[in-house]
């Protein structure tokens, strides 16, 4: 389980992440989608423990990243966007070194490194100097090093960046196979089709704010609503759930006079019905309105539409039978 609470980070006085909070269970594929410079790499570096948080907390499988960093990091395998290798080493030497650093026992290390090289398709290159590997082979080696120690959680930052279409497709196949083994995978990418192809739940990162994880199908079909209501938070959420039309409900703000929620509904035209249901439950609704999707969400929807057209090309309307 990963628990992030009020995580903020600024670079040279410029906010990168603003009060990011979420809690997810292990065993799923999560996508973090946002444009270039949106903070995806910073977020994964913080979760991995490679970058110290300026405020907020990070817990990995119950271990606090500040207080128990070694135990927390052992749960994680991390592929940064830009990864550096000792180019004079071979893939086997690199993975053996990493395995030793991560505490894999000597009696097990040879077999573990061999299995990892085999699984990632690097076994035939095990004794080749890293300086002689192609860019695609180095990215695959980066995935291999993240798997050393058999971590439960993998953080992959733009794993196919700089690869050809064929190379990217092959690496995505490996990532899909890894996810099928039961690991939790966090994939950060600015490529919409990659996120849609590989991820079950998607976070959107814009202007330093991270959305709640949303199943891909809901993200592509749902409608965003802004709700301002007076009442008990738990009671309001129960009333919303009882309507059967709400896909997700995320509290945004809370004070003595008003609660603010961002809702995701299954289709348009539900504002009046939801407001009526809340009023019948005894809550005073001051505002409920549809919100335009942000640029990240629009980009994903455009990509999904393009993928659908590619998968089902239009048939010729007229066939030449002569």
Question: What's the rounded Cα separation, in Å, for the pair 286 and 245?
Answer: 20
The string of pLDDT tens digits covering residues 27-65 is 889 999 998 889 999 999 999 999 988 999 999 999 999
Question: What's the rounded Cα separation, in Å, for the pair 39 and 9?
Answer: 9
Greatest mean pLDDT range, 78-82, 214-218, 295-299: 78-82
What's residue 320's pLDDT?
A: 46
What's residue 309's pLDDT?
A: 77
223, β-bridge pairs: 265
Residue 135 has pLDDT above 90, yes or no: yes
Q: Residues 298-304: what's their mean pLDDT?
A: 88
Assigned architecture for domain 217-296: 2-Layer Sandwich (3.30)
Whole-number average pLDDT of the chain: 89
User: Cα dist. 145→69, 84, 116, 215, 273 in Å?
Assistant: 19, 12, 8, 29, 52
The string of pLDDT tens digits covering residues 77-112 is 999 998 889 999 999 999 999 999 998 988 899 999
Decide: residue 226, CB within 10 A, 0-12 exposed, 13-18 middle, 19+ buried: middle
What's residue 262's pLDDT?
A: 84
Q: Please tell me which residue, 137 or 307, carries the higher pLDDT value.
A: 137
- CA torsion sign for 219, 237, 253, 261 is positive
Residue 292 has pLDDT above 90, yes or no: no
Greatest mean pLDDT range, 197-206, 218-227, 251-260: 197-206
Residue 322 has pLDDT above 70, yes or no: no
What's residue 59's pLDDT?
A: 95
Q: Please tell me which residue, 256 or 239, carries the higher pLDDT value.
A: 239
What's residue 313's pLDDT?
A: 60
The string of pLDDT tens digits covering residues 148-191 is 999 999 999 999 999 999 999 999 999 999 988 889 999 999 99
pTM: 0.83
Least confident of 74-88, 119-133, 216-230: 216-230
Where in the sequence of the chain do the CATH 3.40.50.300 domains occur?
A: 2-214
Percent of the chain with pLDDT strictly greater than 70: 96
Question: What's the rounded Cα separation, in Å, for the pair 14 and 5?
Answer: 20
The closest alpha carbon to 198, from 82, 28, 78, belongs to 28
The string of pLDDT tens digits covering residues 14-34 is 889 998 999 888 788 999 999
So what CATH class is 2-214?
alpha beta
Where in the sequence of the chain do the CATH 3.30.70.3190 domains occur?
A: 217-296
Decide: residue 42, CB within 10 A, 0-12 exposed, 13-18 middle, 19+ buried: buried
Percent of the chain with pLDDT strictly greater than 90: 63
What's residue 181's pLDDT?
A: 84
Residue 318 has pLDDT above 80, yes or no: no
């Amino acid at each position: 389980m990963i628990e992030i609470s009020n995580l903020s980070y600024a670079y040279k006085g410029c906010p990168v992440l603003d009060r990011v909070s979420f809690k997810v269970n292990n065993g799923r594929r999560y996508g973090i989608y946002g444009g270039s410079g949106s903070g995806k790499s910073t977020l994964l570096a913080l979760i991995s423990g490679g970058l110290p948080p300026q405020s907020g907390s990070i817990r990995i499988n119950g271990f606090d990243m500040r207080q128990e960093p070694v135990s927390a990091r052992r749960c994680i395998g991390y592929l940064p966007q830009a990864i550096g290798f000792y180019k004079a080493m071979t893939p086997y030497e690199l993975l053996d070194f990493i395995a030793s650093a991560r505490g894999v026992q000597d009696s097990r290390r040879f077999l573990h490194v061999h299995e990892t090289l085999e699984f990632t398709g690097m076994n035939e290159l095990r004794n080749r100097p890293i300086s002689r590997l192609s860019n695609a082979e180095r990215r695959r080696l980066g995935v291999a090093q993240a798997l050393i120690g058999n971590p439960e959680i993998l953080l992959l930052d733009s794993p196919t960046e700089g690869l050809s279409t064929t190379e990217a497709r092959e690496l995505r196949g490996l990532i899909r196979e890894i996810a099928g083994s039961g690991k939790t995978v966090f994939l950060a990418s600015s490529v919409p089709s990659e996120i849609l192809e590989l991820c079950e739940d998607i976070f959107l990162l814009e202007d330093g704010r991270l959305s709640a994880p949303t199943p891909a199908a809901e993200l592509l079909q749902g409608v965003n609503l802004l709700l301002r209501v007076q009442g008990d938070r738990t009671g309001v959420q129960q009333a919303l759930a009882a309507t059967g039309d709400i896909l997700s409900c995320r509290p945004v703000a809370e004070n003595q006079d008003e609660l603010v929620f961002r809702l995701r509904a299954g289709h348009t035209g539900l504002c009046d019905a939801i407001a009526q249901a809340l009023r019948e439950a005894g809550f005073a609704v001051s505002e409920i309105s549809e919100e335009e999707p942000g640029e990240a969400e629009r980009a994903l929807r455009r990509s999904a539409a393009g993928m659908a057209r590619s998968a089902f090309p239009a048939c010729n309307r007229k066939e030449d039978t002569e």
